[in-house]
Amino acid sequence: MEGGARLGKVFIVSDALGGTAERIYRAAIVQFPGADVEVERVSHLRTCADVDRLLARCQRSLPALIVYTLVESELRAYLASQALRVGVRGIDVLGPLLQDLAQGLDQAPTEIPGLTHRADSNYYARVEAAEFAVRFDDGKNPKAIREADLVLVGVSRTSKTPLSLYLANRRLKVANVPVAPELPVPDLLHKQAQKVVGLTISPELLLSVRRERMRALGVSTSSLYATASRIEEELAFADRLFAQLGCPVIDVSHQAVEETADKVLSAWKRTIGPEQNGHSYHG
Domain termination site, one of 113, 142, 166:
113
- Residues 6, 87: one domain? yes
The predicted pLDDT at position 277 comes to: 47
Provide φ and ψ at 234, rounded to 5°: -65, -45
The predicted pLDDT at position 280 comes to: 44
Q: Where are the alpha helices (DSSP H) in the chain?
A: 19-29, 48-59, 73-86, 95-105, 115-135, 144-147, 160-168, 187-191, 203-217, 228-245, 257-271, 273-277
Domain termination site, one of 57, 89, 113:
113
pLDDT block averages, 10 residues each, the chain of length 283: 68 89 91 90 93 94 93 94 94 91 88 68 83 89 92 96 94 95 95 96 96 88 89 98 97 95 94 54 48
Q: Total structural domains in the chain? A: 2
- Residues 272, 132: one domain? yes
- Residues 185, 272: one domain? yes
The predicted pLDDT at position 117 comes to: 63
- Residues 132, 261: one domain? yes
The pTM for the full model equals 0.60
Q: Residue 134: which CATH number? A: 3.40.50
Considering the domain boundaries, does residue 206 fall inside one?
A: yes
- Residues 156, 191: one domain? yes
- Residues 86, 137: one domain? no
The predicted pLDDT at position 203 comes to: 97
The predicted pLDDT at position 141 comes to: 87
- Residues 270, 135: one domain? yes
> How far apart, in whole angstroms, are the C-alpha atoms of residue 223 and residue 213?
11
Considering the domain boundaries, does residue 58 fall inside one?
A: yes
> How far apart, in whole angstroms, are the C-alpha atoms of residue 277 and residue 279?
5
Strand partners, 150: 174
Instruction: Give the model confidence (pLDDT) of 240-255 as tens digits.
Output: 999 999 999 999 999 9
The predicted pLDDT at position 120 comes to: 63
> Which residue range(s) make up the domain with 227?
124-277
The predicted pLDDT at position 3 comes to: 45
> How far apart, in whole angstroms, are the C-alpha atoms of residue 171 and residue 152?
15
